[in-house]
Every structure is written in C-alpha cells, then in structure tokens.
A and B are shown apart, each in its own frame.
Chain A
Amino acid sequence: MHDPFLQALGGIVPEERLLLGQAELLPYESDGLTAFRAKPRAVVLAESAEEVIQIVKTCHAHDVPFLARGSGTSLSGGSVPVEDGVVIALNRMNNILDYCPIFRSMVIEPGVITAQVTQRASEDGLYYAPDPSSGPVCTVGGNVAFNSGGAHCLKYGMTSNHILALKVVLPDGEVTTFGTASLEGVGPDLTGMFVGSEGLFGIALEITVRLLPVAETFYTVIAAYDTLERAGKAVAMLVASGLLPGAIEIMDRLVMEAAHAAVGVEYPSRAEAVLIVELEGPTEEVAEEKVQLQQILKESGAFEINPAKNEQERLMIWKGRKSAFSAAGRLSPDFIVQDGVVPRSRLGEALVEIQKISNKYNIRVANVFHAGDGNLHPLILYDGRQAGLYERAEECATEIMRLCIALGGSITGEHGVGLEKLVFLKEMYGPEDTLFMHRIRDAVDSARLANRGKMLASAEAPALFSHGLHPLEKQGIIFRN
C-alpha cells in the first residue's frame, strides 16, 4: 500500500476492516436507489466512535471526501458513495449504550437498527415512535441524517421530534455534543439543525432518543373506495373532523396487488383504493373515537370497512403497507419512488393531476402514501430495458415534483434530497435561500468533504434536467447501469 492516505487509514483499523478490493467495494456502490452508483476509494468498517473520529480527521488531513453508511437503505441516493471518497460503514456500531426506562430515553450508537430500539424498550411498555417502512433494516444514524418519517408522523412527528441529544464529529474531526437527555434546553436547537442535514454536517456518534409509552389500544381499519380520488377526499374529511389518528395511509389497486403478492395480505376485492386508519390511545377514548371514525368513513363513500380483529391482523395490515416500495419490484422491473408533499386539503386535487400526468406520459403510476401528512409516494413504473422509457419516467417524475412545489408543498417528506432531488431543491427554495444553505454548509465544512454532492448541488451543476443524462453523470461524478 503506497498510498499515504490508505496507509493512514490502515493505522486506524486492522486490515480486515479496510476494504479496498474490487469485489469488496462493488456492493457499496449504491443504496436503496440503484439508479445511481459511484465507486468509493475505500470502505472502512468502523467499530467505535474513536475510530470514526480518527477516520474523519484523516480524510480531512488528506482532503478526501467521506460519508457514513448504515444499512444503505436511502431512497434518495443519500448513501451512494462520493466518487473516490471513503465510505465509513457504521453498521457494526450497534450497541445500546445506556437505557433509562424511568426517564424514557435511550443512548445508542448510530448503527443500531431502528426497530431494535422499540424492541428493547417494549419490555418496559415503551417504544420509539418514528417508524420508517424500512425500520427493521435501516439504522437510527441514517434516520438522524435524513430526518426519516414513517406512517405515524401525523401525530408524533418525524425523527427530529424524537432526538434529544447527539454527540457528533464535524467534517474536520472536531467532536461536539448538542442537547441533553432533558426534553427542554437553553440556547439554539442545534440538535434540530443537525437532524436532517444529510451527512453534510458530519457524523452522529451517539444518539439520545426519546421513548413514549405504547398506546393501550389500537383500532386499525381498512376502508375500501371505488376511486382513488374518493379515498383522497376521505382523508381531507378525516383531518378536518378533529380526530387525530396515529396514521392515515392510502394504497391504490396496483400497490395492493404488489403487497398482496409480497406478504399475502387480503384487500377488499373491488377496491380501487384503500385507506388505512389507525386510532390509538386509552381504551375508553378509542372506543368513542371509532364510532366517529366509522361514521366519517361511511359518509366519505367507503363501501367496505374492515377493522383488524386482533393484533396479528393489525400487524399484517402494516406489514403489507410497509413492504409496498420493495414489493413494487413485482409490478415492474424498474420504478422511481417519489416523496413529494402537498397540503393535505389539496390531496384530492393532487391525485387527479398525477393521474393526468401518468396518462400524458403513458406511464403507470402506482400510489401509496402517508395521506394524513399529504406525503405522496407515487411509484413511477417503467422498464429501463426499453429505449426511451427511463427518460419518459424521469420527465413524468419531474412533472409530479413540480406539481408538489406548485401546490405549495415540498419535494421530499422523509427520504431527503440526496442525489435524486438535487436539482429540485433550488426550485423549491429559490436561488437565494439555496445559496444561503450552501454558505451554511461551507461554514461548517469549508473543504466540502462530508457527503459531498448530496442535498446541495455543486455550484457548477446545471440548474435543471428534464431528460437525458443527470448533470452529475455528465460530470462523471455518478453513473448508472
């Protein structure tokens, strides 16, 4: 090993944890979004915070870009390596460092799997509220970086609402802490600023999460509708009713088919769309609320209302819903998952527009979304082996994204900007606010080493692309198969 940089890394971790060979690096070239790939120079399997700090310092000293990777499940390309940079794999840093059931908090390493937090806390009747669909796979470190969401954000907010404190290494190797185990603090909410920064501010080394008591009773219901639009309107009625369900989700016919094939959940046979609504709370409260809920669902035109009869059925409903993205692989060889947000009161309107866009491009769009939050996940289905289809799918996706912006929404509700929505950040925030974000990043990471190229497009990148090569592809920073 003649490369002094690699030599320096070799001084931090033993040889078997410094991956350099072609076969070792290839599987790290992409994450949950396979459209993008980039070759890292090395992958380091870190096992302690101290190692991560040393690796970051070494990268900084040698001016080599780096990024952290948990389970590599990002749907925005957030953990696609920086070309010729270093991947710091944190999945082995999966220890629970401190668990204080009485104070309802837990201190964990970033590589802890999200679902395992709840698993551990459940012994004490507690749980960790954020529940991204990839919860059994993804890591809390990744959730912190991307401010991940899930089905239950409606009532409990996103990851950011459940992170109390962080110990982080900044992009130049300086270590600092934000927040405390208290729900309250003094001074600017630096924890809140760090969460969702997509790795641009450095790497979280220790995470203190807030835990909540598990609700006493759940009432989960599947309501069937003959059109997607009607289901969308039902959501608006539900939100306006003053009920505050734990979750309101919509799945359309295509997604139901995929989820049925994947996990065997049965859906009402004639339904074009189903609404999943979950009430949760004290038994007496849920008993009253469900009467109201059923009333609203009937008024909204649901032709079948099937409540889960037991916990097993409830878990199946969620399993089906949470397998939806991956199950889309059964509908089509390729698909683009979108993550736009629209104001909830304009959901019905957005769905009609999406259908129009789908017709216009003659591309199938499957719909599954966190309806209560107005967080849409259109799945744009295409076969990349057919000439021109990828481009058409991209155009279709672009138009849906612009629709969300035009309706006053967001380009991402929970997946983050990553690589995928890089060019749309500016469209959403405008040039000045985007530039300001660049300046913030430069103040924190003047060398632009931490997860370079994600969230903030490099200044020289063209502002927009509608078809053909992605601007980053043109620059040779990324490539796709």
Chain B
Amino acid sequence: MAEQATTVEEVCDFVRSTQHVRVMGGGSKDNLSREPTLCVGGLSGLIEYQPDEFTFTALAGTPVAQIEEVLAEHGQYLPFDPPLSKSGATLGGTLASGLSGPGRFRYGGVRDFVISCRMVTGAGEIIRGGAKVVKNAAGFDIPKLLVGSLGCFGVLIDLSFKVFPKASATATLKVETGGVSAAVDAMHQLTHQPLDLCALDFDREGVLCLRVGGLAASLPERLQRLRTLLTGLGTIEQVDDDAAIWAAAGEFSWVPPGARLLKIPIVPGSIARIEQSLQNSRIDPPRRYSVGGNVLWLSWRSEDRWEQLPEFELGGLVLCGDAPVRWMGHWQDNVFFQRLKTIFDPDGKF
C-alpha cells in the first residue's frame, strides 16, 4: 500500500525514512508506476500563473488536464500536447516519463518547455533547478535532466513551464496514402516545406494526419495550398472535429483494451526496417507513427508474446499494460548518468 503525500515535508520524511521509493502520480501509465510506495497525487494545485507572463508553476501531482483548462481560459496551451491528460496524467508524471504528444513536431517536447523544478533528492534534501523565466543560462540544467528520468533521481515537488498562445483556429487534413511506405515518402516531401505544420502523424494503414493552426482568417487559404501540395498522394479529407481526433490520439484510443502501450523513439529512416521486422514476426500490431516519424507508439497485445517484440535500436518505454520490464535500452549503463546518480540518489532509493 502506497503512502499518500500531500505536503513537501511528508515527501521529505518519507524519503528519509524509506529505502525503496517508487512514486506514482495519476497512475495513467500503470506499467511505469507499478508497485508504488509513494503516491503524490495529493501534491496538487496550481501555485502561480501569470497569463501575461506565459509561465506557470504547479505542484508535481497536479493533473495536466486541470492546467490545460486554466491555460485555455487565457488562450494558452502546452505546445507539446502532453499525452494521457484525460486519463489523469500529472505534470510530474509527464515530465518524469518524458512524454510529448503530436505537437512536439512543431515547437519541441516537454524538455523544451520545462523551465524550473523543485525536487526531493535521495538524501531527503529539497533542491531547486532552473528559474521561472523563459530564458536562463545560469547553473546546470537540472529540470532537463529530470525529463524522462522515471523518478530515478528523486521525487518531483513542483514544476514551472513556459507556455505559448494557442492558435485561434486549427484544422486537420487526412490523406490516405495507401500504406506506411507511401506515407513516409509523402512525409519527406512535406517536412522540408515551410508549411508550419503543428503535427504530422500516420498509422499502419498509411493515413497521414496533418494539423495546421493559426489565425482563422488565413487558415482556409493555407489548407487550400496544402491540398494542392498533397494532390496525387491519396484521397484527402478534412476532418470535422479536429480537436477530437488529436485528443483521441493523445489518449491512445486506438490501443485495444488491456494491450501494452510502448513508446519507441525512432529516426524516420528506420521506419522501413521496423515495418519489415514486424512483417517477419507475423504480428501486425496496432501502431501509430508520430512527431514526423520520430516516435512509434506501439500496442503489443496481451496475446502477442513479449519475446516476439522486435529489437528497437533506440530502446523503448512500456507505459501501460502488463510487461516484464518498464523500459528497454541501456541508458543506465551510461557513465555520466551513473556519476550523477551517486549525487541525487546516494543510497539507491529510487
């Protein structure tokens, strides 16, 4: 049974008195927060938000959805489209698992928007890194180090982010290219153009989703131009509810219930190889290529044997479902990581 912490002091006390600390926030990524010893869901709330400053600070256990709601009231948003926000993802969990959604394509990921953090180290000390301004080059960039760290350096207390003004209008075109390889070819034609695409995803059927955002007045013209560019690549359709399809993508609604959900970082050049190895394994898992071919979201159903999972060069993260591991890859062997770990977590609690 996990201990519930609602104050910083409780977190510090818990860390000081416990040998094994595994943190859970909202529990939206069940495989990552498996067997938690500390739940920080109660460490929640927006601490500071100045709309005209375009920055906010919130406790790590604050649900992302709650923040997005407040931001939206002021026409602002987190441009990296934090995934699983409707499933209860917290700000801290999003940062610690290093997750960014389709919007990462345009302005950057969670790493590019976090500006400051407070955390409790393995020694039970509270430290702060970064500053609550959009530009800062002083000292080591601790907030960035924590992105994707899966809680191995400490317990997050609060986080500050910069945010952007939200486009007043958005629209999405779907192009049925006929298959993954045709979608990849189409993508390469598009990524060099100054189209200012907000997102570029495609699925295993080769249906390309292109999102455009901006001023309502200029959007129709931009869409028209995009259509012209896409001519010959497949049937083009403008989706009716653009917000809904991206929200669904962010919640991975295409993943069958109970299936494992994996995040596999890739380079666009490796897609052909991945497709080939999936074909060889004779498993055709539901999947979605996101961020212009930089991430593969893969669903590995419970009936598919774990051992049949292809090797992925850049490792992977198993977010949800029942899996024998939390991640794949060798980042823990990195000597720089190991040296940092001795300072953040001298007793190996995390």
Contact = CB atoms under 8 A, between A and B. Distances in A.
A74 B177 CA distance: 50
Contacts of A434: 139
Contact of A201 (B152, B215, B328, B336): B336
Nearest to A370: B135
Contacts of B267: 103, 180-182
Given A103-B267, A125-B192, A161-B108, A149 B137 contact: yes
Interface in B63-77: 75
Contacts of A189: 98, 111, 144-149
A125 B316 CA distance: 32
Contacts of B342: 443
B245 interface: no
B144 to A, nearest CB: 3
Contacts of B147: 188-189, 192
B104 A285 contact: no
Interface string A181-218: 11111111110111111000100000000000111100
Interface in A278-301: 281-282, 284-285, 287-289, 292
A291 B288 CA distance: 39
A186 B314 contact: yes
Contacts of A149: 135, 137
Interface in B99-128: 100, 104-105, 107-109, 111-112, 121, 125-128
A341 B192 contact: no
A196 B131 CA distance: 14
Contacts of B218: 282, 284-285, 287-288
Contact of B52 (A239, A285, A288): A239
A178 interface: yes
A428 B145 contact: no
Interface residues of B, number: 88
A214 to B, nearest CB: 6
A414 to B, nearest CB: 5
Contacts of B343: 436, 439-440, 443
A203 B265 CA distance: 26
B349 interface: no
A62 to B, nearest CB: 22
A378 B155 CA distance: 39
A141 interface: no
Interface centre among B125, B133, B135 (most CB of A within 10 A): B135
Nearest to B216: A288
A174 interface: yes
A159 B149 CA distance: 21
Interface residues of A, number: 96
A149 B145 CA distance: 19
A444 interface: yes
A182 B145 contact: no
A343 B50 contact: yes
Given A125-B192, A194-B336, A285-B222, A183 B294 contact: yes
Contact of B329 (A186, A190, A239): A186
Contacts of A176: 334-336
B221 interface: yes
Nearest to A429: B139
A186 B133 contact: no
A337 to B, nearest CB: 14
B136 A341 contact: yes
Nearest to A217: B194
A213 B191 contact: yes
A343 B53 contact: yes
Interface stretch (A16-24, A89-97, A309-317, A415-423): A415-423
A374 interface: yes
B153 interface: yes
Nearest to B220: A284
B336 A444 contact: yes
A408 B131 CA distance: 8
Interface stretch (A5-13, A150-158, A250-258, A267-275): A150-158
Nearest to B99: A184
B137 A413 contact: yes
Interface in A397-424: 408-417, 421
A27 interface: no
Given A101-B192, A193-B144, A374-B134, A186 B265 contact: yes
B165 A244 contact: yes
A129 B98 CA distance: 23
Interface centre among B141, B148, B294 (most CB of A within 10 A): B141
B331 interface: yes
Given A187-B331, A433-B127, A155 B107 contact: yes
A375 interface: yes
A323 interface: no
A1 interface: no
A231 interface: no
Nearest to B130: A410
A192 B144 contact: yes
B317 interface: yes
A27 B218 CA distance: 55
Nearest to A409: B133
Contacts of B327: 186-187
Interface in B124-183: 125-129, 131-142, 144-150, 152-153, 164-166, 168
Given A188-B331, A190-B145, A443 B339 contact: yes
A443 to B, nearest CB: 5
Interface string A364-382: 0000001001110000000
A180 to B, nearest CB: 5
B39 interface: no
A184 B294 contact: yes
Contacts of B129: 433
Contacts of A440: 140, 340, 343
Contacts of B140: 193, 196-197, 437, 440
B334 A153 contact: no
A240 interface: yes
Contacts of A170: 335-336
Given A197-B141, A341-B131, 20 more contacts: A126-B192, A155-B107, A183-B104, A183-B105, A184-B104, A186-B263, A188-B149, A281-B214, A282-B195, A282-B196, A287-B218, A343-B133, A410-B133, A410-B137, A417-B139, A421-B138, A425-B139, A436-B121, A436-B127, A443-B342
Interface of B: 50-55, 75, 98, 100, 104-105, 107-109, 111-112, 121, 125-129, 131-142, 144-150, 152-153, 164-166, 168, 188, 191-196, 214-215, 217-218, 221-222, 225, 263, 265-269, 291-292, 294-295, 314-317, 327-329, 331-332, 334-337, 339-340, 342-343
19 contacts: A100-B269, A102-B191, A102-B192, A103-B268, A174-B335, A183-B292, A186-B263, A186-B329, A188-B337, A193-B340, A197-B140, A213-B195, A342-B133, A373-B135, A410-B133, A410-B136, A411-B138, A416-B138, A428-B139
- Considering the complex of A and B, which 6 residue pairs feature the smallest CB-CB distances, nearest first? A192-B144, A187-B331, A216-B194, A242-B165, A188-B149, A193-B145
